[in-house]
């Protein structure tokens, strides 16, 4: 049977001197392995897959198991991302955040939508660290993590401007009124703007986000905060995170 689906290549391995087996995350959120014959040849028909992040229309045959790739057409080339090293590094981090949570044989359409949304935001020059934080916040539940930034874990206040710390004893934000030497054990100071943004990103629907433009400094602070939550609750480590730190 012939299929035609949009997707993003998420993995590739050499199969022979000239061919590779690639795995595509398709628009319906499934992982499809495909044989790409001639991939490694100089005049490869699949040259568009050689480098960078791209949304591609894949035409392939598949009955059961591995498919055979016939044709590729680029849908979104993400030129700015692929030509800007720092932005590409953030994009790689986002890809890793999303695909590490994929389970074999499970359909995760929302993962695909998050990946395309994040890439589109980066391409449109939203703040890279903030877009990465956004993707990480949306993925957090899939790693079993939690982030409680809506109300003070002690008094229940929802006055976001007063939130001052994130507590790993109370598993949530605490406000300046509740913070003291005792309640502050295992807590870290976090700027109220950062906590506000984290809450916004947690609740906003994907289709309502058209751009994320904040200062680089706040974007990085937000990403650091989310990474701290990941460290505490998930125990997953992302290789790309190391690269980001070298930028
Ligand atoms: Zn409080």
Cα 200 to ligand 1 centre (Å)? 19
Residue 197 has pLDDT above 90, yes or no: yes
Contacts of residue 48, Cβ cutoff 8 Å, sequence gap at least 6: 54, 56, 72, 74
Is the residue at 179 inside a domain?
no
Is the residue at 151 inside a domain?
no
101 and 198 both lie in a single domain = yes
9 and 53 both lie in a single domain = yes
State the chain's maximal CA–CA distance in angstroms: 67
26 and 57 both lie in a single domain = yes
Residue where a domain stops, chosen among 76, 93, 125? 76
104 and 18 both lie in a single domain = no
- Number of domains forming the structure of the chain: 2
Q: What is the CATH number of the domain that holds 48?
A: 2.40.50.140
Q: What is the mean pLDDT of residues 204-214?
A: 97
* Packing angle, helices 128-139 and 216-233, rounded to 10: 30
Q: What is the pLDDT of residues 68-111, one digit of tens each?
A: 999 999 999 999 999 999 999 999 999 999 999 998 888 999 99
Q: Determine the pLDDT at residue 45.
A: 87
pTM of the model: 0.95
Residue where a domain stops, chosen among 76, 107, 127? 76
Is the residue at 33 inside a domain?
yes
Alpha-carbon span 8 to 30, nearest angstrom: 11
What 3-state class would DSSP assign to 166?
strand
Cα 88 to ligand 1 centre (Å)? 40
Is the residue at 19 inside a domain?
yes
Alpha-carbon span 11 to 14, nearest angstrom: 10
Q: Determine the pLDDT at residue 64.
A: 83
Q: What is the pLDDT of residues 30-80, one digit of tens each?
A: 999 999 999 999 899 899 998 899 999 999 999 888 999 999 999 999 999
Q: What is the pLDDT of residues 162-196, one digit of tens each?
A: 999 999 999 999 999 999 999 999 999 999 999 99
Q: What is the CATH number of the domain that holds 236?
A: 1.20.1440.120
139 and 226 both lie in a single domain = yes
59 and 118 both lie in a single domain = no
Strand order across the 163-167 sheet? 172-175, 163-167, 187-189
Cα 175 to ligand 1 centre (Å)? 4
Is the residue at 154 inside a domain?
no
Q: Determine the pLDDT at residue 138.
A: 98
Residue where a domain stops, chosen among 59, 76, 93? 76
Residue 98 structural domain: 84-145+192-245
45 and 94 both lie in a single domain = no
Is the residue at 110 inside a domain?
yes
Q: How many CB atoms lie within 10 A of CB 145?
A: 19
Residue 101 in tokens:
């949570």
Residue 246 has pLDDT above 90, yes or no: no
20 and 70 both lie in a single domain = yes
Cα 163 to ligand 1 centre (Å)? 8
Query: For the purposes of burial, counting CB atoms within 10 Å of the CB of 82, is it exposed (0-12), middle (13-18) or buried (19 or more)?
Result: middle
Alpha-carbon span 227 to 232, nearest angstrom: 9
Is the residue at 171 inside a domain?
no
Task: Output phi, psi for 65, to 5 deg.
Answer: 65, -130
Task: Please give all residues whose CB falls under 5 A of ion ligand 1, grouped by chain where several chains appear.
Answer: 152, 154-155, 157, 175, 178
């Amino acid at each position: 049977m012939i299929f035609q689906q949009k997707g993003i290549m998420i993995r590739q391995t050499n199969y022979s001197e000239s061919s590779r087996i690639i795995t595509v995350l398709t628009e319906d959120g499934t992982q499809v392995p495909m044989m790409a014959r001639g991939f490694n040849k100089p005049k490869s028909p699949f040259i568009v897959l050689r480098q960078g992040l791209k949304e591609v229309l894949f035409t392939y045959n598949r009955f059961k198991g591995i498919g055979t790739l016939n044709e590729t057409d680029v849908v979104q080339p993400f030129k700015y991302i692929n030509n800007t090293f720092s932005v590409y590094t953030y994009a790689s981090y986002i890809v890793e955040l999303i695909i590490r949570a994929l389970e074999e044989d499970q359909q995760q359409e929302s993962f695909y939508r998050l990946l395309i949304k994040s890439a589109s935001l980066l391409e449109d020059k939203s703040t890279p660290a903030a877009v990465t934080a956004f993707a990480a916040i949306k993925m957090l539940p899939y790693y079993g993590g939690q982030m409680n930034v809506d109300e003070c874990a002690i008094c229940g206040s929802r006055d976001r401007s007063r939130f001052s710390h994130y507590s790993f004893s109370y598993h949530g934000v605490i406000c300046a009124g509740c913070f003291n030497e005792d309640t502050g054990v295992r807590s870290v100071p976090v700027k109220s703007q950062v906590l506000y943004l984290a809450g916004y990103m947690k609740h906003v629907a994907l289709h309502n986000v058209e751009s994320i433009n904040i200062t680089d400094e706040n974007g990085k602070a937000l990403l650091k905060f989310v990474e701290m939550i990941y460290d505490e609750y998930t125990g997953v480590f992302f290789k790309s995170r190391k690269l980001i730190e070298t930028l």
